[in-house]
Amino acid sequence: MDLSTLKEEFHSFQNTDWMLLMVTVSLFLTQYVTAAVLLVFLGWTAYKKELWVSIKEQLGAIWIYLFIGIEIIVSFFANNLIGLVNALGMLLVMGFISVYRKQVHPKLFHYMINIMLIGSIFVGILALFQFADFSAQKGYDFFEFHIQNSPKRRIMATFDNANLYATMLEFWIFFCVYRFIQCKGLLKRILYVVVGLFNFGLLYLTGCRTALLPLVVIIPLFFFLAREKKWLLLSLVGLGIGIILVFMEPDLIPRITDMSTLESRFKIWNCAWMGIQNYPIFGLGPQSYHLYYQMFNGHKAPHAHNIYVDSLASYGIVGTLLIIYYACRYLLPEIINVRLYDRQLFGLIIGFILIFLIHGLLDVTMNVLATALVFMMILNAGVLVKKD
């Protein structure tokens, strides 16, 4: 694309388009900056009288805001300050999504993805400096690529911890695959391969073993759904070679022999189950587990390290059923409809759902603004087929 075409495209963007891009950039500047930018964005759209109109037209709005309202009330009465902050964060995210659904169009969607991939390079460089510093503190050489067990000594870039950064890296790697298939120019494809491999190397350095499993599933599945038979075959061959290498040399996967975290998961789930039994209807609000482990003398952790257990423990039966109803009644039919018009986009959305479901077996990483925003942006990308 030449500069004149790029200038013409930018000139066609509306003010709200630029605001959406501003929110995208803020994802890399810590969640405090993201929260501030979201407040500015929602305040600006409210002033322009766009926010309320967007919310009224938002898919399944009544169920979304009923769920958030319940979580705010439950968190307040349970003295769950962390949960209250999380619930207010949900309000920011879904308010943003309401405007996003009304405003986003295919061109803007692809610019948002490309901005995230550019941003991933900058935070990736920061992460490499972090890795060098963590290695030096423990006397390791950088090129030993020694991944430490302590979560505080694993790269996190501008995100709160290594597991959250790993989730973002999963997203970015998958974006590279998606854009690789979309673009036909050789140079662009090479760039997406380079960025994808760079982020995969960083994913390795996070030491987050759980984050590797979704990629094993979603990349071949994406090629299958997108009807890219050649790339499906190549991905399966590459996957087969990778599995053989891991069997021959298990230490290729960092921290694979460390079972202490898995043992702690069982202790956490047992404590979370006690919380579910005691507060089955509404839970105690988002991230209730940090209250349960104190009540029941359980293993200390910020959440239940499993999205299925954490949902019941935090939201109870009522909140969990509201989430399931909203997803099945509103989002799922829209997503299925995408398959008829854009199989690549359909593959992207299904891949993101599987990242959530597979990674979520051993961790909860969608409870911060950056991961939640990107995840919900993709889940709501089905609206694009109505605007193409």
294, two tokens:
């104190």
Which range, of 54-58, 255-259, 331-335, averages the lowest pLDDT? 255-259
Distance CA 201, CA 172 (A): 12
Tens digits of residue pLDDT in 177-193: 999 999 888 999 999 99
- Is the full-model pTM beyond 0.75? yes
Residues found in the chain: 388
Residue (of 102, 112, 91) closest to 24 by Cα position: 112
User: Is the pLDDT assigned to residue 307 strictly greater than 70?
Assistant: yes
How confident is the model at residue 248, as a pLDDT? 78
Residue 252 has pLDDT above 70, yes or no: no
Band (69; pLDDT cuts 50, 70, 90) = very high
pLDDT at 344: 96
Show contacts of 348-351: CB within 8 Å, 24+ apart.
348/174, 348/178, 348/222, 348/378, 348/381, 349/378, 349/379, 349/381, 349/382, 350/218, 350/221, 350/222, 350/225, 351/174, 351/218, 351/219, 351/221, 351/222
pLDDT digits (tens, 9 = 90+) for 259-287: 556 678 889 999 999 999 999 999 999 99
State the average pLDDT over residues 294-311.
Answer: 92
Dihedral (CA of 236, 238, 241, 243) sign: negative
Residue 1 has pLDDT above 80, yes or no: no
Phi, psi of 138 (to 5 degrees): -105, 10
Q: Is 312 helix (H, G, I), strand (E, B) or coil?
A: helix
Higher pLDDT, 172 or 388: 172
Residue 3: its pLDDT value, please?
Answer: 56
Q: Return d(Cα 195, Cα 117) in angstroms, integer.
A: 7
Domain-wise residue ranges, the chain: 16-262+301-386
Which whole number is the average pLDDT over 144-165?
87
Calculate the alpha carbon distances from 300 to 73, 115, 362 in Å.
25, 37, 16
Average pLDDT over the chain, rounded to an integer: 91
Angle between helices 15-26 and 81-103 (to 10 degrees): 140
Q: Determine the pLDDT at residue 6.
A: 60
pLDDT 10s digits, 346-361: 999 999 999 999 999 8
User: C-alpha distances in angstroms, 2 versus 13, 82, 106?
Assistant: 17, 48, 19
The residue assigned the tokens 């490309």 is 114
Tens digits of residue pLDDT in 82-119: 999 999 999 999 999 999 999 999 999 999 999 999 99
- Measuring CA to CA, how many Å separate 229 from each of 197, 225, 344? 22, 10, 13
Torsion 6-9-15-21 (CA) sign: negative
Predicted local distance difference test score (pLDDT) of residue 5: 61
Q: How many Å apart are CA 350 and CA 122, to the nearest integer?
A: 28
The predicted-structure confidence for 35-44, as pLDDT tens digits, reads as follows 999 999 999 9
